[in-house]
Chains A and B, each alone.
Chain A
Amino acid sequence: EDKVVQSPLSLVVHEGDTVTLNCSYEVTNFRSLLWYKQEKKAPTFLFMLTSSGIEKKSGRLSSILDKKELFSILNITATQTGDSAVYLCAGIYGGSQGNLIFGKGTKLSVKP
């Protein structure tokens, strides 16, 4: 059965800390892995990772995929209170539909 597992499920840090969120996957016909940030409503797209070992960066956020070990990490440096959210990772599987299977998310709380 396909699955995406995220850890930790929740995390509380203080502003300025660096955090690493983990995502492991077992997805048949895996294509890519996506990271999303979900605040109060719909998820917003962060990264799509298709190739192993290539880091993607956007400001203080970065992510990398290891297709051999079947996991990905999302790093956030110098965290801010605005980073507080649920971070979801999802594996893309299957044919041309590009269906996603989501993990349960990591709830990050950044304290001032």
Chain B
Amino acid sequence: GAVVSQHPSRVICKSGTSVKIECRSLDFQATTMFWYRQFPKQSLMLMATSNEGSKATYEQGVEKDKFLINHASLTLSTLTVTSAHPEDSSFYICSAREPGQGTYEQYFGPGTRLTVT
């Protein structure tokens, strides 16, 4: 199956700093990538949908100025958590979908554990 990578896998940062998380599709071109966050013992919550070459679509309640998403190429999307605060500490997972009509399966990256101190 398709492989999606994320970097870094784990990051600790101080409150007020910004953190960038990369999501790459390794063996396919992903016109659409998705960013999720997952709190402990909770399910994945979709944050935004990232489309190559256009602005991301954010879910209701997600601050677009705080969670900056860039999908500059068909294999890379980045999520930047700006001015991070402890409440932003979470597990962030990206997924990518192969282009193709009717293909809705999403391949998930291994996730990034963000801890804001």
Contacts and interface: CB of A to CB of B under 8 A. Distances in A.
Given A44-B108, A48-B104, A103 B43 contact: yes
Interface stretch (A12-20, A56-64, A94-102): A94-102
Given A88-B43, A103-B43, A98 B97 contact: yes
Given A42-B109, A42-B110, A101 B104 contact: no
Chain B binding site: helix, strand, loop or mixed by DSSP? strand
Q: How large is the interface on B (under 10, 10 to 19, 20 to 34, 35 or more residues)?
A: 20 to 34
A32 B44 contact: no
Contact of A97 (B44, B49, B107, B109): B49
Contacts of B104: 31-32, 34, 48, 92, 98
Interface of A: 31-32, 34, 36, 41-45, 48, 88, 90, 92, 97-105
Interface of B: 1, 32, 34, 42-46, 49, 57, 93, 97, 103-111
